[in-house]
Amino acid sequence: MRRPGPARSTRGNEIVLLEENPSTCIPIGVRHRIENPGKIALHIIEIPYGSFLGEDDMVRLEDQYGREGTTSCGATGSH
């Protein structure tokens, strides 16, 4: 049996290690990041909720994968 690995969730200045089957809520306007701190595959299911479910209101501050929409201000810049 294979278990998914843990995730490191950063919400503002709070860093939390999430083990298997957790959930976390990101409040509107809070800078956040989720990453895989280990070598075991990490599986994430993101579920938006509320009256607006589009992605065109997101601002990508930093993206190591070079996806479109990344701003030039970086993780420590102001926006």
How confident is the model over 15-55, as pLDDT tens digits? 998 887 788 888 888 888 888 888 888 888 888 877 877 77
At 76, is the pLDDT very low, low, confident or very high (cuts 50, 70, 90)? very low
Give the mean pLDDT of 71-76. 48
CA of 24: how far to CAs of 64, 72, 79, in Å? 23, 28, 24
* pLDDT of 14: 93
Can you tell me the distance from the alpha carbon of 7 to that of 68, in angstroms, rounded to the nearest whole number?
24
